[in-house]
Amino acid sequence: MAIHLKAVLLIADGLGGRPTDYYGKTCLEAAHTPNIDELAKRGVTGLLDPIKPGVRPGSDTAHLSIFGYNPEKVYTGRGVFEALGIGMNVKEGDVCFRTNFATVDEKLNVLDRRAGRITEGAKELEKALQNLKPSQPDVKVFFKASTEHRGALVLRGKGLSDEITDADPHKTGVKMVYAKPLVSNDSAMRTAELVNEIVKQSYDILKNVSLNRKREEEGKPPANILLLRGASIKTEIPSLKELYGVKGVAIAGGALYIGIAKALGLETKKAEGTTGGADSKIINKAKLAVKELRDGKDFVFIHLKGADSCAHDHDAEAKIKYIQKVDEVVGFLIENLDWEETHLVFTGDHTTPIVYGDHVSDPVPIVFVGPNVTADDVEEFNEKSVLKGGLGRISGRVVPILFGYCNWLKKYGS
Amino acid sequence: MAIHLKAVLLIADGLGGRPTDYYGKTCLEAAHTPNIDELAKRGVTGLLDPIKPGVRPGSDTAHLSIFGYNPEKVYTGRGVFEALGIGMNVKEGDVCFRTNFATVDEKLNVLDRRAGRITEGAKELEKALQNLKPSQPDVKVFFKASTEHRGALVLRGKGLSDEITDADPHKTGVKMVYAKPLVSNDSAMRTAELVNEIVKQSYDILKNVSLNRKREEEGKPPANILLLRGASIKTEIPSLKELYGVKGVAIAGGALYIGIAKALGLETKKAEGTTGGADSKIINKAKLAVKELRDGKDFVFIHLKGADSCAHDHDAEAKIKYIQKVDEVVGFLIENLDWEETHLVFTGDHTTPIVYGDHVSDPVPIVFVGPNVTADDVEEFNEKSVLKGGLGRISGRVVPILFGYCNWLKKYGS
């Protein structure tokens, strides 16, 4: 019988670039990456359109598509994943929001959408907001603060809708803007009413919290209202375990990625010393991944955020430097994975070029390595070298292809 | 911030060919095309399946797919685009037909489906047909003649259907054939009745037009009836401006291409001296394109018809010669576009091989050029050289990919 195979998905967020990144080269071309190039030497390379050609992906839709899910069917917005990612319990049919603590005056003019990027007292505000009580008694409200002004709110009840606009003016110096139904059905109208009631209650509760009186005394903007945006309803998403029988773990730091992993039924772990910033000890993610596989996991998803952040900041040198840190991660994996039984795929979730500083639809290089992979002749890994890759150009579905090499797919037909 | 980018879509209709075209080469291989090859040197090449592999496209469905629309959703037939293309106003829900002036005898046997390819008097016939009056008073009829025997007719009213057969026997020497409903619902039955009433009225009107009496005296077949074919209903198609915020213009001559451009919300312009024939001064299209971009347009679509027409005529030498004219167009664009800000894609809307003389499903070469494109190593542009291209094989969606290079896509997800 075949040995039991293992799988690793290594995503460097925003990995792809353009020739305008750095003196006629992409950052990936410019970086010194002997280990990543070693993957290209050993494996099969090509181009990945995270969703499909000519679609500009968000990180959320891209990851869903890479995991083999059709975002048009399962994606309703980022809120669900953010709520899951900060540790909230989200059930099918729940409507989730991303929230901001903000500052309003007594006439509910919005003065600061982030309450001066408040850094302290989130737990006190969160505790106070446990008293949110909608007048519709069959609906439950859950709120959790995350970092700084950020948080998430979950509404649970029958017949709620995410087809409503934001309760957030998205700018300052204007009157508070309330949620409106986007369609004229009872669910949407009822949910919009609920949201607006909650926003008003949040003001009544938060204005009296002692933290805010103290902030006002200190001349700081009080965190005296909750803005709600990006309503999204939790759909049914079959887990990777249900689909493939796989016991997997995600090693990620960002709430969004943790949330996506949870939505797909993966266990989630953080590696020590990882911060999401340029100083993050991402090598610890590789160490944890190797340990998890040795401890019996079938599948590890490692998410590395930094390349995308550097590109959003238009900082080519930082992105190049971060890619060289990713190369060390790859080096550790090459050294420490059991290559008789492990398949690994390395790619980005999208291209984030330096000049544009945001996601674009250009495809991103990808490489599959492992005992069942027929290798091509490509010996470097970048946007140009993989144009000759043997994988061709694929649209999403990276994880099903990876699991295919591991013999974990169910037969379709007979 | 980034400079404002520009985009050019250059389509040589029926560009693709087969090795059976001309002594073991395709016409594109046989033609001398230094400028088109220069595009290959500068850009990334590959193969385009206009719709998807194994689908044999029409020019209309191919163009819709190339523009990023799903023809299965937005295409109901050629009539809508022909009517728009000859300058008729077509609204959502209108049912459009392509029409022929034809010749029938007094028993309504069809003697000539094109009334002897009548070349004169179209305006007189068109004017006479303004008296078409259906007995259903809530339905309006619009008719416009175009070239020779051709024209279009539009029905406007609530609850009309395009699910009817043609009022056209499609051969001569037989009795007139009337429209029948293809489904048994009120709309289809009512529309078929309407069409048949209009055809009969057209005979009553046209037989008495002085032009026809004159033609009969001269022994020419009178244009005494209107045949209606290809019923198609105008669906809602979001414009390129709505989808991408782009101000675009189409430079085309053929009614179909003008109609498609109008349906997608593009402005349309004709270049001087362009005829659709082999002698057409297509270089003027390139000149106009450069002017339009300099005058502030974001996007220009240039349509060149000749290669397809030559291939339909099984004339390899004419097709080769026309491709060499296209090469001059490309040369002018290479010289005169601002390559720091412009992305261009050059391809065909389908393959039309010489031996078969009609559209086939074989993919067609494609090349993208511009500052954000990672170039491959291909140095010539033809069916064989692009097999090694870095773009791989794409299915439609050429314009979304082009606009992606220009940073014009909205993000899907966040």
Which H helix or E strand runs over A230?
Answer: strand A225-233
Q: What are the C-alpha distances in Å from A237 to residues A234, A242, A333, B12? A: 9, 10, 30, 45
Instruction: Check B374 against A383: CB less than 8 A apart.
Output: yes
Domain boundary among A180, A200, A233: A233
Instruction: Check B404 against A60: CB less than 8 A apart.
Output: no
Q: Look at residue A1 and tell me whether its pLDDT is greater than 70.
A: no
Do B87 and B224 have their domain in common?
yes
Instruction: Check B373 against A59: CB less than 8 A apart.
Output: no
Of B2, B68, B403, nearest to A356 by CB-CB distance is B2
Cβ neighbours of residue B157 under 8 Å, at least 6 residues apart?
B136, B138, B139, B140
Do B244 and B201 have their domain in common?
no
pLDDT of residue A275: 85
| Percent of chain A surpassing pLDDT 90 | 96
Tokens of B135: 């007995």
Instruction: Check A26 against B374: CB less than 8 A apart.
Output: yes
Q: Which of B86, B212, B97, B222 is nearest to B146 (CA)?
A: B86
Domain boundary among A233, A266, A284: A233
pLDDT of residue B1: 41
Instruction: Check B404 against A361: CB less than 8 A apart.
Output: yes
Which residue out of A361, A385, A388 would a mutagenesis test of the B interface target, given it has the greatest number of B Cβ atoms within 10 Å? Answer: A361
Of A46, A54, A77, nearest to B404 by CB-CB distance is A54
**Prediction ipTM score:** 0.91
- CATH number of residue A57's parent domain: 3.40.720.10
> Does B1 map to a domain?
no
Do B284 and B369 have their domain in common?
yes
Q: What are the C-alpha distances in Å from A252 to residues A39, A255, A256, A321, B91? A: 22, 8, 9, 20, 52
**pLDDT tens per residue, range B367-410:** 999 999 999 999 999 999 999 999 999 999 999 999 999 999 99
Burial class (CB in 10 A: 0-12, 13-18, 19+), A193: middle
> Does B414 map to a domain?
no
Cβ neighbours of residue A180 under 8 Å, at least 6 residues apart?
A164, A165, A192
Do B166 and B298 have their domain in common?
no
Maximum separation of any 2 CA atoms in chain B, in Å: 73
Do A319 and A214 have their domain in common?
no
Q: Which of B9, B7, B24 is nearest to B383 (CA)?
A: B24
> Does A113 map to a domain?
yes
Do A293 and A399 have their domain in common?
yes
> Does A308 map to a domain?
yes
* Partners of residue B405 in chain A, C-beta under 8 Å: 360, 362
Mean pLDDT of B264-282: 91
Do A111 and A146 have their domain in common?
yes
Cβ neighbours of residue A308 under 8 Å, at least 6 residues apart?
A13, A14, A15, A59, A348, A349, A352
Q: Look at residue B157 and tell me whether its pLDDT is greater than 70.
A: yes
**pLDDT tens per residue, range A90-113:** 999 999 999 999 999 999 999 999
What is chain B's Cα-based Rg?
23
Of the pLDDT bands very low, low, confident and very high (cuts 50, 70, 90), residue A277 is confident
Do A241 and A229 have their domain in common?
no
Q: What are the C-alpha distances in Å from A277 to residues A47, A145, A253, A307, B345? A: 27, 21, 10, 10, 39
pLDDT of residue B276: 76
> Does A414 map to a domain?
no
Do A368 and A246 have their domain in common?
yes
Structural domain that includes position B186? 83-233
> Does A100 map to a domain?
yes
Do B45 and B182 have their domain in common?
no
What is the Cα–Cα distance from B15 to A267, expressed in whole angstroms? 53
Task: Specify which residues B46 forms β-bridges with.
Answer: B366, B392
Cβ neighbours of residue A350 under 8 Å, at least 6 residues apart?
A13, A14, A16, A50, A57, A59, A62, A359, A360, A364
Domain boundary among A169, A198, A233: A233
Do A185 and A213 have their domain in common?
yes
Domain count, chain A: 2
* Partners of residue B44 in chain A, C-beta under 8 Å: 387
Task: Please check whether residue A409 is in contact with residue A244, taking contact to mean a CB–CB distance below 8 angstroms.
Answer: yes
State whether the Cα torsion A107-A109-A111-A113 is positive or negative.
positive
> Does B413 map to a domain?
no
**pLDDT tens per residue, range B297-349:** 999 999 999 999 999 999 999 999 999 999 999 999 999 999 999 999 999 99
Q: Which ranges in B174-272 belong to alpha helices (H)?
A: 186-206, 210-217, 240-244, 255-263
Do B42 and B109 have their domain in common?
no
> Does A24 map to a domain?
yes
Instruction: Check B413 against A53: CB less than 8 A apart.
Output: no
What is the Cα–Cα distance from B134 to A349, expressed in whole angstroms? 59
